[in-house]
């Protein structure tokens, strides 16, 4: 009965189109944890099943809820708004309450240390999260001299990983997949009338 109530609450809080599946587990203190990203830990179980992965990705592609914030912060930091939106799409699928198993939070999935570095106090506030994520993309753009693949690799795996691999994309499958997805979304946003 309790699991049905929890599932109902999750369904009410998270739009059905936002993610392919929702996972959850109860910790030792009795606190229920949820994530939208398939977790590595075996303590998680599926709360909401994956019904149609492809449909979910395409259906929410044109989300314009955050365009004003994206434009404001992109303009302020000199970052292409299509890139910011593509990163947001790939990272959280526009869910401001997304939390990854590794602890990344909000629309642009800022890790707590990154959020602190970018002076983000509330990573679940869309304005603060987009500001921090855009500012971080600008930092990475300057660090990696505008090389999009390295910027995205550093956004996903961290700048130190890119530097450890002699300024190359690290051989991490998740990072390579992330780069491919962001570039795909970026091209669709930047050139909507092509292909």
What angle (nearest 5°) sits at the alpha carbon of residue 90, between those of residues 89 and 95? 50
The C-alpha atoms of residue 104 and residue 40 are separated, in whole angstroms, by 15
3-state class of 170 per DSSP? Answer: coil
Of 91, 164, 174, 194, which is the active-site residue? 91
CB 162: neighbour CB atoms within 10 A?
A: 26
For the question of residue 141 being annotated catalytic, the response is: no
> Cα torsion for 94, 95, 97, 102, to the nearest 10°?
-80
Name the residue with tokens 């869910």. Answer: 95
The H or E element spanning position 34 is strand 32-35
Tokens of 40: 């590595």
Tokens of 62: 């044109």
Residues assigned a catalytic role: 91
């Amino acid at each position: 009965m309790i699991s049905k109530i929890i599932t109902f609450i999750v369904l009410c809080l998270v739009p059905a189109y936002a993610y392919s599946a929702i996972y959850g587990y109860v910790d030792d203190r009795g606190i229920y944890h949820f994530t939208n990203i398939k977790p590595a830990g075996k303590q998680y179980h599926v709360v909401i099943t994956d019904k149609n992965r492809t449909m979910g990705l395409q259906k929410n592609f044109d989300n314009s809820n955050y365009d004003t914030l994206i434009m404001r912060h992109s303009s302020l930091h000199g970052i292409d708004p299509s890139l910011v939106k593509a990163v947001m799409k790939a990272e959280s699928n526009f869910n401001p309450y997304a939390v990854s198993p590794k602890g990344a939070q909000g629309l642009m999935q800022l890790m707590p240390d990154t959020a602190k570095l970018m002076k983000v106090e509330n990573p679940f506030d869309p304005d603060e999260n987009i500001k921090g994520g855009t500012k971080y993309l600008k930092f990475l753009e300057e660090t990696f001299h505008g090389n999009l693949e390295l910027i995205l690799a550093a956004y996903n795996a961290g700048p130190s990983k890119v530097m450890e691999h002699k300024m190359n994309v690290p051989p991490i499958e998740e990072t390579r997949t992330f780069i491919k997805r962001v570039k795909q979304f970026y091209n669709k946003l930047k050139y909507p009338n092509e292909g």
